[in-house]
């Protein structure tokens, strides 16, 4: 499917069980043992990315370019977190998603996330040019 055929309402979902490795005190985003904000954002990005990937032609993917999210409730170790992403806007290669996350008890986060459609080979070629050269 061509990028111009991507339409709003495509949805993605990702889940994770909160383990000690995913807590704020383990990922340097705080000192308490609750699900870390960067982990929640990553799960939201995963939901968005995986939601649109089946609609992209081979050799294309998306990269995250903007996140505007509020983490509104703490989640202890042992609960499951589910992130949902809904594509709400397509502007050329720019994709805008409404994202939300829930634990087993309540909504824990919400916001908007933007991704950009890339040609994987061209993108990786540009990245390789930035890599340090061995002396």
Residues spanned by the domain of 30 = 3-130
- 37 as an active site residue: the answer is yes
- 45 as an active site residue: the answer is yes
pTM of the full structure? 0.93
Task: Classify 114 as helix, strand or coil.
Answer: strand
Q: Does residue 14 fall inside a structural domain? A: yes
Condensed to tens digits (0 to 9), the pLDDT of residues 8-40 reads: 999 999 999 999 999 999 999 999 999 999 999
Looking at the 3D structure of the chain, how many domains does it have? 1
The CATH number of the domain where 8 resides is what? Answer: 3.10.129.10
Q: Following CA atoms 14, 19, 73, 63 in sequence, which dihedral angle do they give, to the nearest 10 degrees?
A: -40
Cα 13 to Cα 32, 37, 47, 83: the distances in Å are 27, 17, 4, 6
Q: Which of 13, 15, 37, 110 is catalytic?
A: 37
Residues in a beta bridge with 116: 63, 94
């Amino acid at each position: 499917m061509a990028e111009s055929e991507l339409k709003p309402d495509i949805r993605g979902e990702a889940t994770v069980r909160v383990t000690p490795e995913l807590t704020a005190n383990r990922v340097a985003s705080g000192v308490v043992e609750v699900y870390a904000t960067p982990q929640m954002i990553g799960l939201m990005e995963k939901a968005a990315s995986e939601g649109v990937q089946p609609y992209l032609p081979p050799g294309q993917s998306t990269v995250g370019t903007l996140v505007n999210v509020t983490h509104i409730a703490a989640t202890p170790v042992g609960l499951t977190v589910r992130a949902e992403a809904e594509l709400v806007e397509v502007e050329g290669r720019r994709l805008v998603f409404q994202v939300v996350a829930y634990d087993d008890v309540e909504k824990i986060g919400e916001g908007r996330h933007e991704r950009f459609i890339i040609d994987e080979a061209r993108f990786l070629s540009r990245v390789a040019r930035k890599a340090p050269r061995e002396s």
